Every structure is written in structure tokens, then in C-alpha cells.
Structure 1
Amino acid sequence: MEGAKQVLQLSDDEFGSVSRLVVKPHEPQIGPSFYEDFALRGIQVDRVEPGLIFCTFKVPPRLIDRTGNLAGGAIANLVDIVGNALIYRIGQPMNVSVDMSISYLSNAKLDDELEVTSRLLGKIGAVSGTSVVIKKKDSGEIVAQGRHSLFSRLKSKI
């Protein structure tokens, strides 16, 4: 427990950096939120096909953990957002994550360029399943692979 506390303890510099953050409020549904801007700034959608999305993402300093790797939470966020993007419809209620499973297979470092591919696995009624694979663009090494189940109030065809 003490080891965990030490790892999670902020240094004075880190505490100062966080306390100086300015978060400007925004109106609902207008522009990206602080969270979206922080987590997704820099992601590029390269290609969209029915049931398939291809993106690239260069690992920025803001998403690196203390060990110099892309943070696990940032990877989970990519699985969540890019998986959800396959079934989200503008003007419709947001989908709700029902289940998410992620296998962390290797590390990504600062400035690594990643390929993020999301594939629709299927849809039954109001539940959709997606698979998201994150791999290094230069080597093809898989960083993480996730499965994401989402519930939508709509039963429209995708």
C-alpha cells in the first residue's frame, strides 16, 4: 500500500502544474470539452468505411506516465472513443459503455506514431460490439487490443 501511495504522490512541480490549469466552461454539445481536447487532440481520422475506422495518433507528452510510456488510461480512452465512433450518430443520444476489455501488450513512447483501427463486430438489438487495435505504425507491433460493448436507445441499422 505504501508503494502505491508513493507512486501516486504528486511532486511539488506536478501539483503546481495541475493547480494552474484553466478549464473554461462550454455550452453542452458545442465544441469539444476539456476532456475531449486533452485526450484526443492530435488524433487524425484517415479513412472511414461502413463498420470500420482507421486513425493515426502521435503520442503526445501530456499522455505519458511517469515511466515514459503512453498511460494505460489514455489507451483505454482511445478504445472507448474510437470504438464508440463507429456507432455514434450526430443528434442522437450518446451510447453507453456496457463492457470494455483491454489487453495491454506492449508500450508506446513519446512521439511514437500509432495506428488505431476500430471494427464493428456486430449488433443485436440495442447492443453493439466493437474491436479496437492500437499498434505502432513503423513496426506493426500491437500496443493494445480492446473489445467494447455499447448500448444505444436507438435500434437503427448501421
Structure 2
Amino acid sequence: MEKAKAFLDKLTEEEHERVSRLPFKNDFKFYEDFALLGMHVDLVKPGLVSCSFKVPPRLTDGNGNLASGAIANLVDEVGAAVIYVEGLPMNVSVDMSMSYLSTAKLHDELEITSRLLGRKGGYSGTLVLIKNKTTGEVIAEGRHSLFGKPASKM
């Protein structure tokens, strides 16, 4: 952390101005705001979350495809959203696995669906499916395991 602070102290005035224009809101973590900006929640039911997302330039690789790391991030975020319980601490990821089946291009509209596979105590499993909304083609499938404090039965 000290190295990062020291680096930021050495920015030129122009560099400092560019950093200050990064999309950051005080009520969100920078990372989540950057990665999920533009996502629309379409449906929320117990055990199911469905979102739509247009692939932005900031999440593409050098070939104009949605980056594999961005796909992993979507599995992480939307997979965690399906098990979120108001008032409890956020769960932590225990394990994630992704199957990359196709590519999504810049500006493709995606449908991201997360389903709860099961819950035992504080352990939950989710399945996240990322599809091209126009063609129906599956881009990726992810399984996400999380652990957190179980809800009280009282």
C-alpha cells in the first residue's frame, strides 16, 4: 500500500487530473463500479437473478472480445448476488470454475442468469450462464461456491 501511495504522489499534474476523472462513486467500490457499470437487473426471485449487460470497451481484450477475466468477474458478482441476504456480511468465494464456450464482441448485449444450486449451512453453490441476448449463443458457464455466515433461524 505504501508503494502505491508513493507512486501516486509522483504523478504529474496532467496524470493526476486523468486519475481524478476515473469513474468512482463513494457509495461503491471502485472495482465493482468499473466492472459492472451499465448492468441492468431484469429479474430477482428467490434463487434466481437475471441481468442484461452490453459489452463495454473497458472490458475487452486486444481482439475486441469480452476478456476472460471480465467473464470470471461477472460469474463472481452475479453468482454472489443470488445468495445475498440483507443484513448479513457478504459471502466469500471458495471456488469458481468457468467454461468458455464462445466469444462476446464489443457492444454485444448479454443475458446473465444466476441460479442457486443449493445451500448447506453457510456454504452455497450457484450456476451462472452468460448468453448472447440476440443469438442465444452460450458465451460461458460458471459454477461458483461461496461461504458466509448462515442466517439465524431465530
Superposition TM-score tier, normalisation by shorter sequence: 0.7 to 0.9
1:12 aligns to what?
Answer: none
TM-score, scaled relative to structure 2: 0.82
* Of 78, 89, 97, the match for 2:93: 97
* Rounded Cα–Cα distance in structure 1 between residues aligned with 2:152 and 2:27: 26
- Unpaired segments ≥5 residues, structure 2: 1-13
1:59 aligns to what?
Answer: 55
- 5 Å-filtered alignment, 1:30-69, equals 31-69=27-65
Amino acid at match of 1:21: V
- Over 3 Å counting, the alpha-carbon distance change for 1:146 and 1:25 in structure 2 is closer
* Rounded Cα–Cα distance in structure 1 between residues aligned with 2:71 and 2:91: 19
TM-score, scaled relative to structure 1: 0.80
Matched residues, number: 138
- Over 3 Å counting, the alpha-carbon distance change for 1:79 and 1:21 in structure 2 is same
Q: What percentage of aligned pairs have identical amino acids?
A: 63
Partner deviation per Cα, 1:105-144 (whole Å, 9 max, x = no partner): 1000000000000000000111000000000001110000
* Per-residue deviation, 1:20: 3.6
Aligned alpha-carbon RMSD (Å): 2.2
* Of 112, 117, 125, the match for 1:116: 112
1:7 aligns to what?
Answer: none
* Rounded Cα–Cα distance in structure 1 between residues aligned with 2:132 and 2:23: 34
- Over 3 Å counting, the alpha-carbon distance change for 1:143 and 1:94 in structure 2 is same
* Per-residue deviation, 1:154: 2.0
* Per-residue deviation, 1:32: 1.1
- Unpaired segments ≥5 residues, structure 1: 1-15
Amino acid at match of 2:70: A
- Over 3 Å counting, the alpha-carbon distance change for 1:25 and 1:146 in structure 2 is closer
Amino acid at match of 1:43: M
2:147 aligns to what?
Answer: 151
Secondary structure at the aligned position of 2:72 is classed as: helix
